[in-house]
Amino acid sequence: MIDVSDLAYEYPSRRALDGVSLRVAPQTITALVGPNGAGKTTLLRCLAALAPPYAGTVTIDGLDTTAAPREIHARLGYLPDFFGLYDALSVRRCLTYAGWSHGIAPALTATAVETAARRVGLLDRLETPAGELSRGLRQRLAIGQAIVHEPKVLLLDEPAAGLDPQARRDLSTLLLALKDEGMTLVVSSHILSELEDYCSDMIIIEAGRIVGGKAIKVRDVERPRYMLELGTARSDLADFLKGAGIDVIEAGGFEIRSLDTMYLPGWRPATFNYWGTAVAR
């Protein structure tokens, strides 16, 4: 569905992508993982036919992004990392506006809007102004705007950023449902702990180059697993747990912030009440 071959992209002052090649199979969810400045946003913009390659090729659904950007925009939805919503407009009007922007005929727009609202779970909020939605629901509306034209491919730049654990779980459920309905998704993130909830593949990018990738095993729901919700920030928690002989499945090597989550196999919740509450999943 997505083919990238030897892609390079340059900003005036620096080369942001260099020799990037990758392939994304249809109806999968691929995680694009890397530290700040690695090139994730630039790569997503190249995939979305918003940034023309300096060298190499990007093909989406058989179409070259340089030769056919408009056809690709019709087949693709893109959620930028900092998306904007018209706060004064209702959910219905936001989705209608997005539908018209994507060229949906006026006679078909009402149905497209209700379908998108249903897919993102906002059918009961159609008349609510976007400015009155919670952060998680705003994220859903932004995704609704990106899928109102029924794209085959959906690109999401850090969609879980700023969401609380419950909203992140809801997001995982939504992304899996979109995949099951036939979509191909690429999701950039640095919150590694959630990726195995919904991603089938992972691509690791650093300093503009692909440095790794792997198929992610679908989470085994039978395996005992606990989620730790931190009430207080503790940047050395992962090291502390490792030192105590606890097998941390994913703490990511990133700073663990308040309310971030970690997954620990076979771990007894009572041991760590010192930091907060543990929830069995």
Structure tokens at 146: 């990106």
- Give the residue with the Cβ less far from ligand ATP, 45 or 119: 45
- Least separation in angstroms between residue 15's CB and ligand ATP is 8
- Give the residue with the Cβ less far from ligand ATP, 41 or 59: 41
| Strand-pair category, 14-24 with 2-11 | antiparallel
- Least separation in angstroms between residue 175's CB and ligand ATP is 19
- Give the residue with the Cβ less far from ligand ATP, 80 or 165: 80
CB 82 within 8 A of CB 45: no
- Least separation in angstroms between residue 255's CB and ligand ATP is 14
DSSP H helices, the chain, are: 40-47, 69-75, 91-101, 106-119, 135-147, 165-180, 192-198, 237-243
- Least separation in angstroms between residue 8's CB and ligand ATP is 12
- Give the residue with the Cβ less far from ligand ATP, 77 or 208: 208
- Least separation in angstroms between residue 205's CB and ligand ATP is 7
End-to-end CA distance of the chain: 33
- Give the residue with the Cβ less far from ligand ATP, 231 or 253: 253
Between CA 78 and CA 122 the distance in angstroms is 19
Grouping H, G, I as helix, E, B as strand and the rest as coil, residue 161 is: coil
- Give the residue with the Cβ less far from ligand ATP, 48 or 117: 48
Specify the amino acid at residue 82: F
Grouping H, G, I as helix, E, B as strand and the rest as coil, residue 5 is: strand
- Give the residue with the Cβ less far from ligand ATP, 97 or 254: 254
- Residue found by looking up tokens 């959910």 in the block: 91
Closest CA to 214 of 8, 32, 4: 32
Between CA 239 and CA 2 the distance in angstroms is 38
- Least separation in angstroms between residue 187's CB and ligand ATP is 13
- Least separation in angstroms between residue 112's CB and ligand ATP is 30
CA 245 to chain centre: 32
DSSP state of 88: T
Distances in whole angstroms, Cα of residue 121 to Cα of each of 128, 144, 155, 165: 13, 9, 19, 18
Binding site for ligand ATP (CB under 6 A): 11, 13-14, 16, 34, 36-42, 81
